[in-house]
Structure 1
Amino acid sequence: MPLSGSFFSKTFVFGFDARTSRGPMRDKRSWFIRIFDTRNPDVVGVGECGPLPGLSIDDMPHFETVLADVLERVEGQEMPQDAEAWVRQLVPPGFPSITFGLETAMLDLVNGGRRVLFDNDFVRGVPIPINGLVWMNDVESMLNQANQLVNRGFTCIKIKVGGCDFDEECRMLEAFRKVHDRNRITLRLDANGAFAPNEALAKLKRLSAFGVHSIEQPIKAGLPEMADICSASPIPIALDEELIGKEQSKDALLDAIKPAFIVLKPTLHGGILHCREWISKAEKRGIGWWITSALESGIGLNAISQFVSAFRSTIPQGLGTGSIYTNNISSPLKVVNGCLMNDPQGTWELL
């Protein structure tokens, strides 16, 4: 079954003022891999490579050249028995988004090129609970966003902190909690490394008054203080950026820092196979986890959602990014009452 592959790129346009810890974003580019058997070219597997500007280790000028080289190696090969292990051999280290794109394209091809990668409950329409994401803005706008998300049926809200005056952020969280009880609405925070190490514990103590489930990355990744902060924090710490580029040192990182949670993004953290290893190693140590999309289009979001559904986790996942673009790829994915769902009768835009 000789394989052949190609790729194309598409730039997606945000439908709102998207502010991130790395500055404002107006658009986001992704590359899409198409894999097919030359004897049956109408059946095509599609995967998305979407490195995040300023964050992904493979956000580099020669990204497209590396992607073309990888697909050149695919040319003429037979269908592998183990697609994920095969991809690991083809993609050079340091390119997690290409790993994820090729893994998911192959899984799609193996299952008939129908955007079905794993035959599980999500594919059949069973919803996945997700957190509602509050995008960075002034505190009044963020509070309004949070309230609107609760009104839309979300029971877990994630709010970015560290981008505004800290006292104002605390007043915002206090106002939110006056309306939304901690026993009914779960509150997650994400600092994106905004706190100085010598101020982090004091700020975490203040934030703990608001019934916070967890906080992601209170200080920048790679700082030696992270382990002590995880140990002493009154709020459980979740690692995110800390995991980038650490696919070969999972055990050492988890044993040294001992976080309460890890937050996995397949595009950033090594693709499907490495995320499965992160989960296995975390669970052996009693460390919790959830998975988050990284501004992928519907193609990447669908793959991540099917992957996480295989674990039957009940904790809300970070998969609420399907409606952020004005020109997203049409898909059967939809958000209903704080859950992401796949409509089994829906159709995908042809790529």
Structure 2
Amino acid sequence: MKALRNLVFGYKKHVLDFKFDAGTSRGILKQKETFYISVCEKSFPDTIGYGEAGPLPKLSLDDFPDFEQRLIQLISQLNEQDLSLEQIALDDFVSLYIPAKYPSVRFAIETALLDLRNGGQRLIFPSGFTAEHKAIPINGLIWMGDREFMLEQIDQKLKDGYNCIKMKIGAIDFDQECELLGYIRGKFDSSQVTLRVDANGAFSPDDAIEKLNRLAIYDLHSIEQPIKQGQIEAMRQLCEVTPLPIALDEELIGVDDFEAKRMLLEKINPQFIILKPTLVGGLRSCDDWIALAEKMNIGWWITSALESNIGLNAIAQYTAAFDPEMPQGLGTGQLYHNNIESPLRIDAGTLKYDRKLKWGM
């Protein structure tokens, strides 16, 4: 594998504009700041690897008000050391030089170095996916909003050929959300359309089991994070008696040490975990979670976290290396008016890499 010598890092800020008001459990998003981190070798400045650091507002561990200033300082520290990947293994690089409190930066640096090592062509993990032989199945995401907006999205996703729908709940009246799930089930049974819901911690420990019982009648694949993270004992009890599978999401944020990851999964024993590289500290961290989950017979899938196509591309290529059959959460590339043009495209509920399409600047 190519050694990388005398590395030079830089960054560029980009403000992404949503095509619609994106409703989340943390409020309405109209724009999202993201930061493209570049790396090249001093002797070959025209070959550049790129990664994306885009903390999620009110959720990412590194959602600091002075994030850009902190990023400038981190990059300056990297450049002062005249680093080389001859002596330092890539797996060790981010843990040595990027503190765990900056998970999105770890992800960006890690993928930028992988890109550079592969020639600076946005090929992070060349595979059947990047060679156009293999598509990745993905879920169609239904954003929070009023009943009419959510119903409009559901109809469009079904029309577009998705056979897995993920609906965010907790934004409108719970009865109306159940009605929307019933609307889908009235048209398609679980053998035709897989249904997932994401509560983003909207339930309280006191009413969670009652709501899970109501949701179970719609034959759901899973529910993400029914109660807020950090309530370990309450989540453990829910996972023990739940009538439908529970997937941990926010619960994984900030758990960096391998042993701490093992203890969390052993304590809660969820049915699934969901991995967002931007939030959990990059691909190496995802490797740890996956190894532990598979050892404990816990299912998993990978989800993007509102990255532009730079970050989404890296996550998709990493995901493709596992040859997944279960739908992944990688459908966020069409959210922005001013995304980076890329070979990524969505076709009938799958994400594809179309080499006829070129990367934008």
Could you state the TM-score of these two structures normalised by the residue count of structure 1? Answer: 0.98
**How do 1:240-251 residues align onto structure 2 when only pairs under 5 Å count?**
240-248=249-257, 249-251=260-262
Alpha-carbon deviations, 1:256-302, whole Å to 9, x = none? 00000001100001111001110110010000000000000000000
Alpha-carbon deviations, 1:214-272, whole Å to 9, x = none? 00000000113110001111010000000100122101100000000001100001111
CA distance in 2, matches of 1:59, 1:124: 36
CA distance in 2, matches of 1:143, 1:235: 23
1:140 Cα deviation after fit:
3.0
1:73 Cα deviation after fit:
3.4
Which residue number corresponds to residue 152 of structure 1? Answer: 160
What secondary structure does 2:113 align onto? helix
Which residue number corresponds to residue 13 of structure 1? Answer: 17
CA distance in 2, matches of 1:176, 1:93: 41
Which residue number corresponds to residue 57 of structure 1? Answer: 61
Which residue number corresponds to residue 254 of structure 1? Answer: 265
What secondary structure does 2:184 align onto? helix
Q: Structure 1 vs Structure 2: percent identity of aligned residues?
A: 48
State whether residues 162 and 349 of structure 2, in contact with CA within 8 Å, keep that contact through their aligned partners in structure 1: yes
1:206 Cα deviation after fit:
0.6
Could you state the TM-score of these two structures normalised by the residue count of structure 2? Answer: 0.95
1:66 Cα deviation after fit:
2.8
State whether residues 84 and 272 of structure 1, in contact with CA within 8 Å, keep that contact through their aligned partners in structure 2: no
**How do 1:104-253 residues align onto structure 2 when only pairs under 5 Å count?**
104-125=111-132, 126-223=134-231, 224-248=233-257, 249-253=260-264
Alpha-carbon deviations, 1:153-210, whole Å to 9, x = none? 1100000112111111112211221012111100000000001111000100010000
Which residue number corresponds to residue 77 of structure 1? Answer: 83
Of 219-228 and 139-148, deviating more is: 139-148
CA distance in 1, matches of 2:21, 2:228: 25
Listed as ranges, the gaps of 5+ residues in structure 1 are none
CA distance in 2, matches of 1:271, 1:321: 18
Which residue number corresponds to residue 89 of structure 1? Answer: 96
CA distance in 2, matches of 1:173, 1:299: 33
Listed as ranges, the gaps of 5+ residues in structure 2 are none
State whether residues 100 and 256 of structure 2, in contact with CA within 8 Å, keep that contact through their aligned partners in structure 1: no
2:278 aligned to 245, 267, 281, which one?
267
Q: Matched residue pairs, number?
A: 350
1:82 Cα deviation after fit:
2.5
Of 158-167 and 235-244, deviating more is: 158-167
CA distance in 2, matches of 1:233, 1:143: 27
1:28 Cα deviation after fit:
0.3
CA distance in 1, matches of 2:191, 2:325: 17
Letter in 2 for 1:323: Q
1:349 Cα deviation after fit:
1.1
What secondary structure does 1:172 align onto? helix
What's the C-alpha RMSD, in Å, of the aligned pairs? 1.1
